A and B are shown apart, each in its own frame.
Chain A
Amino acid sequence: MIRRVFHSLFILVGLVVAVFFVTHLLGDPARLMLRPEATEEQVQKLRDSLGLNDPLLVQFGRFMGDFARGDIGDSLWQRVPAMDIVIDRVPATLYLAGVTLALAIPLAILLGVISAIKPRSLADRCVTVFALAGVSTADFWLGLMLILFFAVQLGWLPTSGYGGINYVVLPALALAVRPLGRVSQIVRSAMLDEMNKPYVTTARAKGLHERVVIVTHTLKNAAIPILTMMGDEAASLLNGAVVIETLFGWPGIGILLIQAIEKRDLPLIEATVIVIAILIVTVNLLIDLTYSLIDPRVRYR
């Protein structure tokens, strides 16, 4: 467990270092913050005030020191600490992600189990094609189609905005289709792996009902490989959230990142990236904790 925490910290620090080098080596932060039409003098002035003329290592040390103190600097756009703005936006993203997963995961497990029960049957082929269609759909296009149908044509739901169930349904649906497709295929292959193991034959031989064999024996064991893949899903869910939040005007960290990029607000961009990294690392740690809850073998190690 301690090893895992260190591993997570390594990933976090690695990302922060990567952000520093991307912004400071590939580009010039002063130019990134100013509008493209800024004059050379303005650039120089900003460079001086930000200490960008110091040696790179000095800048790096300062950057890491700020990061360790949790002080990324003020947002250029809103003139308040960038970290505060980002943290304010986290609940909205978690809300959207939570509803999305609540829609996608149970259905994905159901579909995956259905197709694993009888591989290559008609049901399996339908589920597989559906899953492939799910991962092949651009989530923002699905969002556009949902807006077109439910908001524009039928007028049942609002086209965008933040709020209760009415507002969250469309973005969550648009966001759910990719994880649904991917997780159902993961469940399918994990189930197939388990079904060939001797304990399943034993369970059947002692006359257990097939439903019991699948739900309490196989699915429980298949949960471990499924859970392992969920960490990567967290990362890709955030990919989708950036686009979907922008499309639906959902005030989460995804749309904040895009706005920060449009406003050329470097401190805010850095803060957003760091918070996203922290979120992902936390999810991965939680997944590791869940292992020990569902698998006694992990607990003893």
Chain B
Amino acid sequence: MRGLGGVAHSASAPVGVDLEVLSLAMRQRSRQVYVRALLRDKLSLASAVFLIILFLSAIFANIIAPHDPEAGSLMLRNKPPMTEASDGGFPYVLGTDALGHDQLSRLLYGARVSLMVGFASVLISGTIGVLLGLISGYYRGITDDIIMRFVDLQMGFPSLLVALLVLYVLGAGVWRVVLVLAVTRWMVYARVTRSLVLSYREYVFVEAARATGCSDKRILFLHILPNLLSPILVLGTLEVGTMILTEASLSFLGLGIRPPQSSWGLMLAQGRGYITSAWWLVTFPGLVIMLTALTLNLLSTWVRAVTDPVTRWRFLAPKRVASKIAESSVPAPAVGA
């Protein structure tokens, strides 16, 4: 596509070539800007590195896990961290659980479920929420009223309780948890999307699109939606953390992930009974949950600051200049609802 366009342009209009090269250069530049901004902020960089490592180790859990998470012997029951393996294998760095499973390996495999639940549920609830928000904000009227009534209804009620109730009716299981989490959080996206659409639909570029005969669908998805992507991305990143925490709570209460499948929350529930004798079983899974949610939070704050041209300079200007420029109108970092 690009090659073809380039040929056509060079033959007829030199201006076209310039524009294309320019836009390519700008796109490359903006990518570099993000990388540069990330390198400048140590906390965000550390968060990104942590999350990348976590992802890779979840994906390659079957390769890097030192032990089989399902294989254990009662000889190895509740061994403290750093216990040497009897067969000379990899030591049990984080100890073993009540069935003699290696905790590090279980955490790695549990990461698959916890991360999958977090991202899948955000993807589903985000899609539903953004679509309804777009419709609600663009068409207004009775549709808007009905959708927003539902949003109010769900906002006012504790989402964990809704999830508990629905899981009680449907029964536990990974995909049920994903669906239930998605259904309990769609309204967060609907609300944000709607309020953004309400302001964007008054802009001249939307009016121009309408004047040139664009269909509503085209205006919504090609003109308005691209402008919403970065705030939605910020919200989505934040929500992944919330979802992982909620999944942990549900599994802890016995209505989320069930054995033989495992997640971090379930590991805490299983370790709870041994709190007096095996502290490592209740400590590490929760620590991993916290670090994951915290790094996601930090990263979403960073994405928000960098995608906003008003605050982006802070990551790019030389340190001395940045600290000298007036500090007024600092947007607050987002905190998960």
Contact = CB atoms under 8 A, between A and B. Distances in A.
Interface of A: 7, 10-11, 14-15, 18-19, 22-23, 26-27, 32, 118-120, 128-129, 131-133, 135-142, 144-145, 147-148, 152, 181-182, 185-186, 188-189, 192, 196, 231-232, 235-236, 238-239, 242-243, 246-247, 257-258, 261-262, 269, 273, 276-277, 280-281, 284
Nearest to A144: B282
Nearest to B330: A119
B266 interface: no
Nearest to A118: B327
Given A27-B170, A132-B301, A138-B289, 9 more contacts: A129-B298, A136-B245, A136-B297, A141-B268, A148-B283, A152-B275, A188-B332, A257-B161, A273-B161
A25 B334 CA distance: 38
B317 to A, nearest CB: 13
Nearest 9 pairs between A and B by C-beta?
A141-B286, A189-B332, A136-B293, A27-B169, A136-B294, A239-B160, A185-B335, A119-B330, A239-B158
A19 B327 CA distance: 49
Given A136-B245, A192-B330, A273-B161, A131 B335 contact: yes
Contacts of A139: 249
Contacts of A185: 332-335
B26 interface: no
Interface stretch (B2-10, B149-157, B200-208): B149-157
A280 B252 CA distance: 24
Which of the four size classes fits the interface of chain B?
A: 35 or more
Contacts of A14: 149, 153
Contacts of A26: 166, 169-170
Contacts of A235: 155-159
A242 B162 CA distance: 12
8 contacts: A14-B153, A136-B241, A141-B289, A232-B155, A239-B161, A243-B160, A258-B253, A280-B156
Contacts of B170: 26-27
B290 interface: yes
Given A26-B170, A181-B335, A243 B249 contact: yes
Contact of B248 (A131, A138, A242, A258): A138
A11 B149 CA distance: 9
A156 to B, nearest CB: 15
B156 A133 contact: no
A99 B152 CA distance: 28
Nearest to A14: B153
B252 A238 contact: no
A269 B159 CA distance: 16
Contacts of A18: 153
A138 B245 contact: yes
B43 interface: yes
Contact of A257 (B164, B294, B297): B164
A269 B168 contact: yes
B336 interface: yes
Given A232-B337, A273-B161, A144 B294 contact: no
Interface in B226-261: 241, 245, 248-249, 252-255
Nearest to A187: B332
Contacts of B276: 152
B328 interface: yes
Contacts of B275: 144, 147-148, 152
A32 B169 contact: yes
B117 to A, nearest CB: 14
B290 A261 contact: no
A18 B184 CA distance: 13
A196 B166 CA distance: 46
Nearest to A264: B168
B28 interface: no
A181 B290 CA distance: 14
Contacts of A148: 275, 279, 282-283
Contacts of B254: 262
Contacts of A145: 282-283, 286
Contacts of A140: 248-249, 252, 268
Contacts of A132: 294, 297-298, 301, 333, 335
A137 B244 CA distance: 11
Given A185-B335, A281-B156, A261 B294 contact: no
Given A138-B265, A189-B332, A243-B252, A273 B245 contact: no
A128 B159 CA distance: 25
B77 interface: no
Interface in B147-203: 149, 152-153, 155-161, 164-166, 168-170
A261 B170 CA distance: 12
A185 B300 CA distance: 15
A222 B254 CA distance: 41
Given A144-B268, A273-B165, A11 B158 contact: no
Interface string B283-314: 10110011011101110010000000000000
Contacts of A262: 254
A152 B281 CA distance: 14
A136 B50 CA distance: 15
Contacts of B223: none
Given A132-B298, A185-B333, A232-B337, A119 B327 contact: yes
